[in-house]
Amino acid sequence: MVVDARKIDDFFSFDQILLDAPCSGSGTIYFKDEKLEKKFTTNLIQKSVELQTALLRKAIKLLKPGKEMVYSTCSILANENEKIIQQILKEKELEVIPINFKGIETLPLLPTKIEGTLCVAPNEFYEGFFIAKIRKIATSN
């Protein structure tokens, strides 16, 4: 299906969703880029936040109750990550599933405001990124 994900028909529902949302790319910035000020702007961040929020709301709408999704960006900015997740958690019946795996302690992690999410700091081995695993709570009718 080739379609803007925000426009997927509500007829569809999914057991799992990976939303690797378009973002500012703040975790992948090359700081010596002479054109950085022209490319990386507050306007880019704001447009990214608006698109990410719309995509996440749609994904949650299409996610079946009791099922899980992953939200990720290659941004390390709270505006594109924790703030969006926190807003959605207030609006919907969701829970964050903590991410944990062998070797996690070796990652260069940045602090996050949501327990169980990961924000990897860019360094000589990694590009920066954020990831959250979310479950849509099954409600009884």
Question: Domain extents for the chain?
Answer: 14-136
CA separation, residue 122 to residues 14, 17, 81, 119 (Å): 32, 26, 16, 9
Amino acid 3: pLDDT: 87
Amino acid 109: pLDDT: 96
Amino acid 103: pLDDT: 93
CA separation, residue 74 to residues 34, 66, 133 (Å): 21, 27, 15
Amino acid 114: pLDDT: 96
| Local confidence pLDDT in tens for the 141 residues of the chain | 788 999 999 999 999 999 999 999 989 887 777 777 788 889 999 999 999 999 999 999 999 999 999 999 999 999 999 999 999 999 889 999 999 999 999 999 999 999 999 999 999 999 999 999 999 998 754
* Residue indicated by tokens 């590009």: 127
pTM of the model: 0.91
Query: Any idea which residues carry the catalytic annotation?
Result: 74
Amino acid 40: pLDDT: 80
Which pair of structure tokens corresponds to residue 71?
């939200």
Q: Classify domain 14-136 by CATH number.
A: 3.40.50.150
Rounded to an integer, what distance in angstroms lies between the CA atom of residue 85 and that of residue 91? 10
How many CB atoms within 10 Å of residue 30?
Answer: 7
Contact 13, 60 (CB under 8 A): no
